[in-house]
């Protein structure tokens, strides 16, 4: 999935999936209800598959960076470099996990549950 299109009553929004996700929690809390309310189940499933694939990729990178960092002495600049790479990637992995949680919850907007 390259482009996520959310169509609602007053217009639409198109998101480039790989550029938009993983997004910060504050943004995810705003976009998840729109996705859950206005996108079909097929689109949500495809998005979740894409996000899970991203999370898996980040996990592989985290493991690789951690392994590389362990190969250097504790005060080495290279160890610091690989630990920093690990930390950045771990943040993206966790962020992707939270995005998956919010999108997979279903309709999260209380106003729309009754509709």
pLDDT band at 107 (very low <50, low <70, confident <90, very high): low
Nearest to 104 by CA among 49, 55, 56: 49
Residue 41 has a pLDDT of: 94
- Do the Cβ atoms of 96 and 55 come closer than 8 Å? yes
- Do the Cβ atoms of 17 and 47 come closer than 8 Å? yes
Residue 12 has a pLDDT of: 96
Domain boundaries, the chain: 3-106
pLDDT digits (tens, 9 = 90+) for 17-76: 999 999 999 999 999 999 999 999 999 999 999 999 999 999 999 999 999 999 999 999
Task: Classify residue 109 as left (phi > 0), alpha (psi -120 to 50) or beta.
Answer: beta
């Amino acid at each position: 999935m390259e482009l996520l299109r959310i169509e609602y009553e007053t217009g639409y929004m198109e998101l480039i999936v790989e550029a938009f996700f993983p997004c910060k929690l504050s943004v995810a809390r705003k976009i998840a209800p729109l996705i859950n309310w206005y996108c079909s189940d097929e689109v949500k499933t495809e998005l979740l598959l894409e996000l899970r694939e991203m999370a898996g990729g980040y996990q592989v990178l985290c493991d690789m960076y951690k392994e590389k960092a362990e190969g250097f002495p504790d005060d080495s600049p290279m160890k610091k470099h690989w630990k920093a790479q690990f930390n950045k990637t771990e943040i993206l992995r966790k962020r992707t996990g939270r995005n998956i949680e919010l999108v997979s919850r279903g309709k999260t907007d209380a106003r729309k549950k009754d509709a």
